Structure 1
Amino acid sequence: MIALHTAIAIVMVVVLIIKVKVDPVISLVIACFYLGLASGVGFEETVKAITSGFGEIMAKVGLLIGFGVLIGSLLYATGAFRTMVRALLTAVAAKRLPYAMAVAMSTVFPSIYVDVQVVLAAPVARSTAPHLGGRGLPLMAGALGTGIFTGYVFVIPGLAAISIAGLLGIPLGTWLLFGIIIGPATALVTVTLLRLLLRTGYWKPERDEEPDQAMLEQEAQAAVDTDAQSSAPEERGPSLLLSMAPIVVPLLMIAFGAFAELFEFTNPFIDFLGNANVALFVGLLMAYVMARRIVGGDRTGEAMSEGFHTTGEILLITGVGGSLGAVIEATGLDQMLADLFSADAGAPVVVSILLAWFIAAVLHLAIGSVSVAAITAGGILAPVLGSIHVAPVAMGLAIASGALFALQVNSNFFWMFKALLGLSTQGALKTLTMVTTIASVVSLPMVLAVGLLA
């Protein structure tokens, strides 16, 4: 009966979000109450599990998410993102631009929230597409989509990556060692496969491209900004080195701490420097000082306020994901799931990873949000990690891989992507939905390799 009530709770979340249009936070809390009370946990223990689960995950990732969002908001305000994109366009030949775009989006820009990334980068994708021939637009659109979401789920400080790592208790340094390889590698392979697919007559411009008013306005504004920057070079934003520093320095600090632990030359000071909270705070300080110098105190304050607004929503969803995991643990389902994951003694690692991938993929198909699917899957699977013989990082990466699967029409991002790239609904399905599906499948063998070797 506990398994049945858990299934009902998950379906309840999906139905409330999709059909009734209830906010994910409220939907998850309702599911927590249903599961706790229907499974016999009791009133007091259900509330205790919800609050303790929320508090535990906030202790792990609350500051990390807040610092990451604020860094992204400040980089946006200072024009650092535009500086990095401009440098990319200058440094890379047109034929290689889709690959460069995908890698850059998946490694350098994950601290910037996905909605901001697509708003700022879509005009770049459209303006460079003609240099790639008749299939340039779908190729650049696909590169943009796969880069944004492989970075979001695999690469620190992508918010989905941080959330999954926190829910499963995976050190960010450990995650970084694997994610920084799997994310860009997945993006590169996905773009290559899309390029091959586009050679088959897959793309029909007359049906798949549909310039709309939102896209035209975006391009017009980009042209105005370009003209203004040409006549006023002093307003072009920070230098490339300065723009990248708030992202690169924290990643180097976290990576240094992870390697120090791996090769056993760590000490308390190195542990301090490699601590993810300390590293991201250093990045935030760098971004804050840069913003104060470039755009002034008032605009910096506005950027911080915008970041705080975004942070609150993400923290609530992540925290309630932790609550769901705590309620599942209180029901005793964790042991039942552990038995399921270890049922096949001949291939426990493969079966466990495939199940984790499948759960996240189904949740994403149903809910339409990569982050909510990843957090919900993390909350479901976190209680069983101690009972199965699979490295937690492999399970986390499996959730990330599954949560990528087939981003489509029930996602708000899908419609934003469609409008800003000037695509029809069919064109958006052929680019964004296709590349996220390919990326999810392509990354799975890499995750399996991590599970078998870790």
Structure 2
Amino acid sequence: MPLVIVAVGVLLLLLLMIRFKLNGFIALILVALAVGVMQGMPVDKVITSIKNGVGGTLGSLALIMGFGAMLGKLLADCGGAQRIATTLIAKFGKQYIQWALVITGFIVGFALFYEVGFVLMLPLVFSIAASARLPLLYVGVPMAAALSVTHGFLPPHPGPTAIATIFHADMGKTLLFGAILGIPTVILAGPVYARFLKGIDKPVPEGLFNPKTFTEEEMPGFGVSVATSLVPVILMAFRAIAEMILPKGHPILSYAEFFGDPVMATLIAVLIAIFTFGLNRGRKMDEVMATITESIKIIAMMLLIIGGGGAFKQVLVDSGVDKFIAQIMQGSTLSPILLAWTIAAVLRIALGSATVAAITAGGIAAPLIASTGASPELMVIAVGSGSVIFSHVNDPGFWLFKEYFNLTIVETMKSWSVLETIISVCGLVGCLLLSTVV
């Protein structure tokens, strides 16, 4: 019976979001209320559970996402992202232009949310395609693949970070495993798959937007741009490696855990960026703080949606669904990684939103970790992989890609939808393989 109620809750979520176009946050809260009541929880307990779910999920997550948004906005507004891209493109040349865009997408993707990074990179993609006389998708797909992989696999992006919080996964290990699986995935979904799309050759759209192009003097140096962007990654990776190789009680370990904590790592990066991307570029402190204030608007609704997902998860836990799932899974031979991926994939195809699919799947799949002993970090990547599968007409990202690359719906499905599916399947296969040794 509990699983039937969960299924009814998910169907209600789909109905509210798809049929009635209700905001994801409101829909998740309503579904959490409905599931709690149907499970027989006292009404006052349901409200308490929802409050605890929102608070518990957003506790440290709000800090990580807030600092991440600040870092990305500072990088974009000072011309750092443009510097990274133009330098790599100049070094690689026309023959290896795809690899330059993959590396740029990975570096920029660590610091920026997908939509922001996508729009930011487009002027460079368009100018490269025009000047090198290359098909637009041949140049654009590797960039989009790199951004999508960092969005689906790697903290501090909202989906993976929120799922890691729900699963109590180590952020550093999640980042490490995500990077290991992300590199071959980007290669297959980006440069390799783009070679099959040469037949789709559309002109660069005119007058779609008027992006700011920074002059040489306005942009910070390449080394400073890359180093500042990757500060959180370096610190979290250092912590993960230290925890794996150093014995407990080692004096370095406590420092690694302190500076490698995701909140501390992103805060340090923002403080560095205030200087490198702001004050050191001649900007006044008031201007830099205005950029930081503006950055929070990007993630405000995203935070609420993730909080709503946390509320749904907590109701499932407090109503005993987690124990019911644990009992069912005892003695089961079905891989928890495959099950978690499937739940996220079904929700993604039905809902469109990768973040909502990931958070909802995280709440449903969380009990599998305790009952099966699966790696929480690999489960994070499995859910993240499932949440990006086959983007289609109910996903805003589908229309973003379609309009900016001047494609038909069929061409968008052949390129963008298939690209996302390759990323999703590669992530699943990688997790299953890695689970045999982790």
Residue of structure 2 in register with 1:256 after alignment: 238
In the alignment, the residues of structure 1 paired with residue 395 and residue 414 of structure 2 have an alpha-carbon distance, to the nearest angstrom, of: 15
Question: Aligned pair in 2 of structure 1 residues 107, 341: CA closer, same or farther (>3 Å)?
Answer: farther
CA contact (8 A) 1:122 1:421 kept: no
1:44-95 CA deviation, whole Å, 9 max, x = no partner?
A: 2111111111111122422111111111111111111111111121111223
* Paired AA for residue 354 in structure 1: L
User: Which stretch shows the higher mean deviation, 125-134 or 390-399?
Assistant: 125-134
> Which residue does 2:301 correspond to in 1?
313
Classify the secondary structure of the residue corresponding to 2:220. Answer: coil
In 2, Cα distance between equivalents of 1:103 and 1:184: 10
Instruction: Please say if 1:162 is aligned against 2:161.
Output: yes
Supply the distance in 2 between the matched residues of 1:120 and 1:165 (Cα, whole angstroms).
Answer: 27
Matched to 2:50, the amino acid is I
Q: Distance in 1 between matches of 2:373 and 2:77?
A: 46
Q: CA deviation at 1:32?
A: 0.2
8 Å Cα contact 2:137/2:194 also seen in 1? no
* Corresponding position: 1:287 with 2:267: no
How big is the shift at 1:406? 0.9
C-alpha distance in 2 between matches for 1:185 and 1:321: 30
Match of 1:353 in 2: 337
Q: 1: CA distance between counterparts of 2:154 and 2:193?
A: 22
Name the aligned partner's letter for residue 318 of structure 1.
I
- In the other structure, the counterpart of 2:313 is 325
1:161 and 1:19 mapped to 2: Cα distance?
Answer: 27
Mapped pair 1:278 → 2:227: no
Q: Please state how far the C-alpha of 1:196 moved relative to its aligned partner.
A: 4.8
Q: For residue 391 of structure 1, what is the amino acid of its counterpart?
A: S
Counterpart AA for 2:366: A
- 1:342 Cα deviation after fit: 4.2
Q: Distance in 1 between matches of 2:433 and 2:222?
A: 36
Call closer, same or farther: CA 1:132–1:160 in 2, change over 3 Å: farther
Structure whose residues are more often helix by fraction: 1
Change (3 A) 1:65 1:37: same
Query: Of 290, 296, 304, which aligns to 1:302?
Result: 290
Instruction: Name the CA distance, whole Å, in 2 between partners of 1:158 and 1:23.
Output: 21
TM-score if structure 2 supplies the norm length?
A: 0.92
Distance between the aligned counterparts of 2:101 and 2:245, measured in 1?
A: 34
Q: Aligned letter for 2:432?
A: L
In structure 2, what is the equivalent of residue 269 of structure 1? 255
Residue 369 of structure 1 corresponds to 353
**Map of 1:119-268 to 2, 5 A cutoff?**
119-129=119-129, 136-198=135-197, 203-205=199-201, 209=202, 215-218=205-208, 221-222=210-211, 225-226=212-213, 229=215, 233-235=216-218, 237-264=219-246, 265=250, 266-268=252-254
Provide the aligned C-alpha RMSD in A.
2.1
Q: Quick one: structure 1 residues 101 and 340, their matched pair in 2 at CA, closer, same or farther if it must change by over 3 Å?
A: farther
Question: Any gaps of 5 or more consecutive residues in structure 2?
Answer: none
Residue in structure 2 matched with residue 412 of structure 1 by the alignment? 396
What is the Cα deviation at residue 314 of structure 1? 2.1
Match of residue 12 from structure 2: 12
Deviation at 1:37, TM superposition (A): 0.3
Q: Residue 142 of structure 1: CA displacement?
A: 1.8
Matches within 5 A, 1:87-98: 87-98=87-98
- C-alpha distance in 2, partners of 1:300/1:422? 35
Q: Deviations over 1:167-226 (max 9, x none)?
A: 211111111110111122211122244145337xxx344xxx376xxx41257x35xx55
Q: Distance in 2 between matches of 1:116 and 1:267?
A: 35
Residue 103 of structure 1: CA displacement?
A: 3.6
Secondary structure of 2:435's counterpart equals: helix
Separation of aligned partners in 1, 2:11 and 2:49:
21
Shift of 1:108: 4.2
- Aligned residue-pair number: 432
SS at match of 1:94: coil
Distance 1:234 1:210 in 2: 31
Amino acid in structure 2 at the alignment position of 1:401: S
Identical-residue share of aligned pairs (%):
27
Q: Is the 8 A contact 1:70 1:307 kept in 2?
A: yes
Shift of residue 132, structure 1, vs aligned partner: 6.6
Q: Which residue of the partner structure matches residue 437 of structure 1?
A: 421
